[in-house]
Structure 1
Amino acid sequence: MPTCIDNLEAKQGVLPDGGMIAVKKLEENSSVPPEKQFTNEVGNLMAIQHENIVKLVGSCYEMQKKVVEHNGKYIIVDVAETFLCYEYLPRGSLDKYLFESQRFDWDTRFNIIKGICKGLHFLHTGMDTPVVHMDIKPDNILLDDKMAPKISDFGLSRIFGKEQTRMNTQNVVGSLGYLAPEYLYRGEISTQSDIYSLGLLIIQISTGDKITPNNDDKCGTKFIEQVRQKWTLPQITSTYAAFDARRLQEVKICIQIGLECVEVERKERPSIVNIIDRLNGKREAK
């Protein structure tokens, strides 16, 4: 197992050859059991090789003796310690660049949007069976030293059967503010669940506005309504008055796509193929 050292945001691991990796410990008290997270991340990520998806380089599963209280007595039990080892990405998560003082220029933001979409396209269509990530948000987008985005954290992901287009669950878990309505209220999971979260992410990258997660707005509905009211064509033109025609059009397209992605009816949302074509100027509308 690699040696672990503290970092401000996560853990770094040092390989025997001195190389750096990121080490994630699966918590016992999380909403998804560690063994389920382990199966999801290892099983799903080992099959994925893409420039916009974080690379899993290894895993560690060890049993440790721990003293716990049980019925008023202290006993020694075996507890599984589970670690996942990823490629180390020095710039950390997208979240700190969107909403803090380190915000970057539009060209970088636009390339990040396109990179995230390419990674999601691979998950949805690039393998034998679709993978639904189920937790697309700024914290789960990591950046390499060239600011290329990589989708990370597959602890909630689901793999579909070859002919399957959706599934249902009674165990609804995920990040507040990013949950698709059909998933939150009916337990329906499909690739369109990811599209909903992607739309919220694209809007935030394009506008710099931030979702404030809370239990009263688990789908980001209030945030979406504020965006619809605020980010009209005059507002976009005024905010980005210094942009040339190309960049201004890119901003308009991104905000439009983002708002289409968060339609309440999942069938009304664009596919990831449609989104990428429009970002590349190949289509005008969904």
Structure 2
Amino acid sequence: MANKPSVLSTLPKELPLDFLKTSTDQFSEDRILGVGAFGTVYLGIMPDGQKITVKKLVENSPLGRDKVFSNEVTNIMALHHKNVVKMVGFCHEGQKKVVLNNGRYIVADIVESLLCYEYLSQGSLQKNLFEVDIKMDWDTRFKIIKGICDGLAFVHSINVVHMDLKPESILLDDKMVPKIADFGLSRLFGQEQTRMNTQNVVGSYGYIAPEYLYRGEISKSSDIYSLGLLILETTTGQKNCPSNEPSAVQFIKSVRENWTPEHIVFQFSRSDGDCLQQVKRCIEIGLECVEIDRQKRPTIENILDRLNGLCSSTS
């Protein structure tokens, strides 16, 4: 049966500002889904009722609005993978507004930068792991870990480094399929390039790899460090508290000391042998990913091979 195309599928990639204002009810507070360092995310509703998310970038973000806009559009507009959030459009449009400047009203060109994505009904991994009363079952958590790794393998295969992996950057659809979002800090590497350096270190304090935090070194291993923290948080259900420490040193130490095979059996006492083996392997992989020496961290391909070897089915 042929489905009627949705408004979303027929939209151009560049969307008019007035259209996005209408879809978000003039950026109403009631439509706010979240607020971050780079902007405010709104729920947009299309004329046919379909939902999208609209991120309105702020001018004074840590990296600069234009750079964030360019990163997201350049690095994820063409990405199509089941574990990467789908961008459906963008807007970079100036409007004349009357503003107060040094005690006088003047007419100025104000540019608005907006990014539009598919709407994911279950929200962030952060919310589902740490902000709801019902604890996620292990099968769901393991599926999420594998999905994040699949998405990151795809991102790395096209020479993009995400640079901001954390539970807030992983969104879940109605079937709890994870999708990597928030590419505002991402970097595109050249074909032969494996790492680069920067003087401008930005990111989420408790998830930044130490070689990036202290020396400005960027590589795919930077993402692996953040991924390791994601795997450890998802497996243990315990929160890395980024405000307390750089690179999650105490959180990693706590997992390494406390999540012994005996503790895993105690925490998952109602689970079968396959489940216990999966949990144990995820803890091992997570701790390998957060090695201080980036050369000792596994590649994303190695991680996937080990995770997939634990699958009891070919899902």
- The TM tier, using the shorter chain, reads over 0.9
1:174 shift after superposition:
0.3
Distance 2:294 2:98 in 1: 48
| Residue 267 of structure 1: aligned partner | 295
| Residue 32 of structure 1: aligned partner | 63
Once the two structures are superposed, residues 56-115 of structure 1 have per-residue CA deviations (whole angstroms, 9 ceiling, x without a partner) of 000011213445555555544322111111011111111111113132100000000000
SS at structure 2 position matched to 1:109 = helix
Distance 2:174 2:67 in 1: 31
1:17 shift after superposition:
3.0
Q: How many residues align?
A: 278
Asked if 1 retains the 8 angstrom alpha-carbon contact of 2:33 and 2:43, the reply is: no
Q: TM-score, normalised by structure 2?
A: 0.85
More helix per residue: 2
Asked if 2 retains the 8 angstrom alpha-carbon contact of 1:179 and 1:197, the reply is: yes
| Residue 307 of structure 2: aligned partner | 279
Distance 1:93 1:12 in 2: 14
Any gaps of 5 or more consecutive residues in structure 1? Answer: none
The reply on whether 1:187 has 2:219 as its aligned counterpart is no
Distance 2:64 2:202 in 1: 12
1:39 shift after superposition:
0.7
| Residue 124 of structure 1: aligned partner | 156
Distance 2:96 2:163 in 1: 33
Distance 1:65 1:209 in 2: 48
| Residue 273 of structure 2: aligned partner | 245
Distance 1:159 1:237 in 2: 42
1:159 partner letter = L
Any gaps of 5 or more consecutive residues in structure 2? Answer: 1-18, 26-30, 35-40, 311-315
Q: TM-score, normalised by structure 1?
A: 0.93
1:63 partner letter = G
- Of 255, 259, 269 in structure 2, the residue corresponding to residue 231 of structure 1 is 259
SS at structure 2 position matched to 1:117 = helix
Pair 164,8 (structure 1): closer, same or farther in 2 beyond 3 Å: closer
Q: Which has the higher contact order (CA 8 A, sep 6+)?
A: 1
| Residue 177 of structure 2: aligned partner | 148
Distance 1:68 1:232 in 2: 61
What is the percent sequence identity of the aligned residues?
A: 60
1:39 partner letter = S
